[in-house]
Amino acid sequence: MRKIRTGALLFTLVVSTALLFSCVPSTDPAPEPDPLPSDHDYVSFTIDGSAVSLKAGPTGTASGPSSSTVTFGGTPAAFQYVGTSTTFRLLAALSSGTYSPNFATDASGRILIEIPSGSVGTYVIPTDGGSASYDFVGGNPKIASTGHTITVWITKNGGVGGYLEGTFSGTLTILGTDSYSVTGGSFSVKIYADVTSS
């Protein structure tokens, strides 16, 4: 009889200890979130057979709605531009330059794509509104925002502070004459707060 009581007591002690430890909160740290992929902050495409990769963008501070300001970090950027018409702008360049609505004269080679919205979906420029232009300074041709057809597919919108991602392709034209084929376009750019014209 004594052996049975000892065994029962030992079993109760083991079970109680196991329950005690199972109820103690874990002191292990929460897992760290996955870091952002290293392939963010770029716009790349092929134009007329030549591969282009743009990894710079606007710098400086622009005025924003309600007297707020937006400070760009020098990498490709996307933001809602509130001017005479509201568009969602995507800007990238070969070198950083101070932000301006056109971002053309102060950055060495840049692309500007405007679409009606930054929401996930497909946008055909100019059918759905918006525009696209690409140029290099220093004697290289400027591809103007006339006579073009660009299709932009937005696949992800991470909101302000996150990333806008997608692809694009189509045709850009110099002043309605010489056409350049744009293929394999892709981008992952940081989204900034709205910018309003001054």
Please report where in the chains the tokens 């392939």 appear, as a residue. 39
Question: What is the Cα–Cα distance from 187 to 76, expressed in whole angstroms?
Answer: 9
Question: What is the Cα–Cα distance from 95 to 126, expressed in whole angstroms?
Answer: 27
Q: What is the pLDDT of residues 105-157, one digit of tens each?
A: 567 778 888 899 999 999 999 889 888 877 765 445 555 555 678 999 999 99
Q: Are 163 and 180 in contact (CB under 8 A)?
A: no
Question: Residue 56 gets which letter from DSSP?
Answer: B
- According to the model, what pLDDT value does residue 145 have? 53
Is residue 192's pLDDT more than 60?
Answer: yes
- According to the model, what pLDDT value does residue 139 have? 42
Tokens describing residue 143:
């591809």
Residue 130 Cα to chain centre, angstroms = 18
How many C-beta atoms surround the C-beta of residue 31 within 10 A? 6
- According to the model, what pLDDT value does residue 37 have? 45
Q: Which pTM value belongs to this model? A: 0.74
**Coil, helix or strand at residue 102:** coil
Where along the chain do its domains lie? 39-196
Higher pLDDT, 19 or 57: 57
Containing 10, the helix (H) or strand (E) segment is helix 2-23
Residues whose CB falls within 8 Å of the CB of residue 70, separated by 6 or more in sequence, listed in order: 61, 62, 63, 64, 79, 192, 193, 194, 195
Residues whose CB falls within 8 Å of the CB of residue 163, separated by 6 or more in sequence, listed in order: 36, 40, 156, 188, 189, 190, 191
Question: Residue 22 gets which letter from DSSP?
Answer: H
Is residue 13's pLDDT more than 90?
Answer: no
Q: What percent of the chain has pLDDT over 90?
A: 27
Mean pLDDT across the chain: 75
Across 77-101, average pLDDT: 84
